[in-house]
Amino acid sequence: MLLFRFVNKVYLRRINIEERTNAIYKKIRHKVDALPRDFQLFLAATFVFGFAQSIVDSTFNNFLNETFSITDFQRGFMELPRELPGFLIIFISALLFFLCSRRQAFVANLLCAFGVLLIGFCSPGFSIMLIWLFIFSIGQHLFIPLNQSIGMELATDGKTGKRLGQFSAVANVSAILGSLAIFIGFKYLNLNFRISYAVAFVAFLTVAILLFLMQKDQPYAAKTKFKLRKEYKLYYWLSILFGTRKQIFLTFAPWVLVTVFRQKTQVLAILLAIGGVIGIFFKPMLGKAIDKLGERFILTAEAVILVFVCIGYGFSKVIFAETPAMIIAFVCYIIDQMLMSVSMARATYMQKIAVVPEDVAQTLTMGVSIDHVFSIGVAVFGGFVWIKWGYQYVFLLGAIIAVVNFFSALRVKTR
C-alpha cells in the first residue's frame, strides 16, 4: 500500500512537471508567434550566428598553437590580416551601396561561412591560412555594425538598449551551446578542428539564408558612406579607445591562457560557456540599465572595472601562486566577456546623437573602420612588448587605455 502511494505520488509529480513545462513552452511559443516575421527571422539568425561564432572562438587559439606552433610575435602580427578588414569595411560597405543592410548582412555571413571552411580544410601552411582568415574576417567585420543597426531598426521607440540586450542574450544562449558542444566533443568524442569548422560553415550559411528571407529595406546613397561629421567626434574617439582595448583582450588574453597557463581547447570552451550563462541574465539587465541610467554611467563604469581586470590578468601570476593566479585569469576572462557587451551603449549613444536617422548604420560602420586602424597597430605593438618585456606589460598598456577611456566617457551627453 505504501509502495502504491509512493509510486502514485511520483507519477502525479511527474505529470505536474510536464504540465508546467508544456505551459511554459506554450507561453514562449505564443510570444514568439506574436512577433513580426522579420523579428522572428533576425532572432533565429542571431541565435545561429552566436552558435557558429562560439565554435570559432572556442577553438581558434588552440588551432593556431597546435597546427602551426606559432611564436608570440607571430600571434600579434597575425592580427594585421585579421583586423585589416575592420579598417577596410567602410570601403567594402561603400562598394555594396546598391544592397540594403539586410542583404549586406547576407553577403557578410556567406563570407564567414566559406572563410571558416577554407581555414579548416585548405590550410597547408600558416601563410595560406592567413588568406582564408582575411576572407572570414571581412564577413565578420561587415556584420558587426549591421547586426546592431538591424537590431535597433526592430526596436520600439525608447527601448533600443533593451532590445539589443535581448538579442545579445539570445546569442549568449546559443554561444553556450556552441561552447559546450566543443567542450564535450574535444574531451569525450575525439572531435577535431576540421569537423568543428565544418559545423561552423553550415551554421554561418544558415544565418545567411535567414537574413536573405527578411524583407528588404532601402539602401542608402553611396555618397553618404564616407561622411564624417564633427557632431560625432566623441563617438569616433570612443571607437578608437574601444578598438585598442578590445584588441588587447581578443588577441592576448586567450593567448595567455593557452601559452602561459597551458590550457586546452575544452577549458577555453567551458570559460566561454560560463560567460554565456552569466550573459543570459547580464546582457538584458545591461540593456535596461543603458535605457535607465544612460550611456555615460555605463561607459565610465566599464572603464573602472577594466582597470582592475587588466591588472588582475597581467599580474596575477607575479603576485600569487600558480593555481590562484590561474583562477584570477579565468575570472578576468569571463568579466571581460561581459564588458564587451558595453558596445551596446556606444551604439545607442550614436543613435541618440544622430543628426539624421540614416547616419546611424553608416557611422557605426565608420566607427568599426576607425577603431581597427588603431587595433591593428596595438596588436603588432603588443606582440613586440610581449617579447621585449613580458605579457604583463601588454595588460598594463590596457589599464592605461582604460583610464583614458574613463575620462573620455565623462564627456558623453545625449538628448
Confidence of residue 44 (pLDDT cuts 50, 70, 90): very high
Give the model confidence (pLDDT) of 209-220 as tens digits: 999 998 876 655
pLDDT at 101 over 50: yes
Spatial CB neighbours of 297, under 8 Å, sequence gap ≥ 6? 289
Give the model confidence (pLDDT) of 7-30 as tens digits: 556 555 656 666 665 655 555 555
Identify the burial level of 306 via C-beta atoms within 10 angstroms of its C-beta, where 0-12 means exposed, 13-18 middle and 19 or more buried.
buried
Give the model confidence (pLDDT) of 158-180 as tens digits: 566 677 777 877 887 888 898 88
pTM, full prediction: 0.70
As a whole number of angstroms, the distance between CA 286 and CA 164 comes to 10
Higher model confidence: residue 226 or residue 155?
Answer: 155
| Residue 252: closest CA among 126, 127, 395, 384 | 395
pLDDT at 223: 45
Determine the average pLDDT of the residues in 315-341. Answer: 87
pLDDT at 365 over 80: no
pLDDT at 132: 93
pLDDT at 260: 81
pLDDT at 32: 58
pLDDT at 301: 93
| Residue 80 dihedral angles phi and psi, to the nearest 5° | -60, -55
The domain limits of the chain are 36-216+230-409
As a whole number of angstroms, the distance between CA 184 and CA 250 comes to 24
Q: Give the mean pLDDT of the chain.
A: 82
**Spelled out in words, what is the top-level CATH class assigned to the domain 36-216+230-409?**
mainly alpha
As a whole number of angstroms, the distance between CA 396 and CA 380 comes to 16
Q: Are the C-beta atoms of 174 and 47 separated by less than 8 Å?
A: yes
pLDDT at 110 over 80: yes
Q: Would you give the distance in Å from CA 354 to the centre of its chain?
A: 24
Q: How far is CA 17 from CA 7, 14, 162, 408, in A?
A: 15, 5, 31, 52
